Amino acid sequence: MKQLIFLLLSLAFLASACNPVSLEPQLLTDVDGPIIINKDGGTFNIQVKANCTWKATVHLNSGVEFFSLTPDSGQADGTIQIDSRMNAMNYEKLGTIEIEYGNKEETRLHCIKVVQEPREPFMVFLSDESSDALPAYGGTAEVWFCANTPYMNCTVADTEQSDSVQIRIRQIPFIEQEIIEGFIIAKIPVNTTYEARTFTLELTDLQHTTVFDTYVIHQAGRQK
């Protein structure tokens, strides 16, 4: 049905374009949006019918370029190909294609929204379980991590130990990066016992409903 409507509009458009009296710029596309792009990226074609010159420009809401146009300008009929790369982040990427068209007397604007689906969230420590034990008098452990969402938390799995451990999350600011990196700073208190112990750090979402990864910190006991 949509293709039939586009065909009828195209025929009406061509009829008006053949009229030498009409100088009104006209442009039709076979999609008005929003264009939904898969999280893995890919290509998408927009068919353009016009009786004038046109130029397409990409405007991004997310700040990170996630698709490009080929070609980005033309005259009369043509095809615009959208090439999109993979979305590694856990949020939608939003953009708008603005097609400016017209002649010397008048210019107009045709806009199409573009949405790329988000990827499932992930958070992971970048190193394995610590092998060197912290001394009994305590200390600070710094553990690197990466994630595709800034909405994260880090806690100690054992609730009896959680109040005694101070944890800070330091994310490295990213502008063009697709992945967030940073490190967990865990301040381990003094071990007043003669027994060695461990602290298990958990990377979770803000609601603590999903544990994405764990990291074990070892601490020695007091010397007898």
**Residue of 26, 31, 69, 30 whose CA lies nearest to 50:** 26
Domain ranges, ordered by start, for the chain: 2-116, 123-219
Spell out where 40-188 has E strands. Answer: 42-50, 53-60, 67-70, 73-75, 78-84, 93-102, 107-116, 123-125, 139-147, 153-156, 166-171, 180-188
Q: What is the average per-residue pLDDT within 41-69?
A: 92
Tell me whether domains 2-116 and 123-219 share a fold: yes
Is residue 53 over pLDDT 80? yes
pTM of the predicted protein model: 0.74
Measure the CA angle with vertex 44, ends 43 and 45; round to 5°. Answer: 130
**Residue of 139, 95, 87 whose CA lies nearest to 115:** 95
Is residue 130 over pLDDT 90? no
Q: What is the pLDDT of residues 4-52, one digit of tens each?
A: 445 544 555 555 544 444 578 999 999 987 999 999 999 999 999 999 9
Give 181's Cβ-side CA count (13 Å radius): 7
Q: What is the pLDDT of residues 139-196, one digit of tens each?
A: 999 999 999 998 999 999 886 777 789 999 998 866 556 788 999 999 999 999 999 9
Tell whether domain 2-116 is in CATH 3.90.1150.10: no
Tell whether domain 123-219 is in CATH 2.60.40: yes
Q: What is the average per-residue pLDDT within 88-109?
A: 93
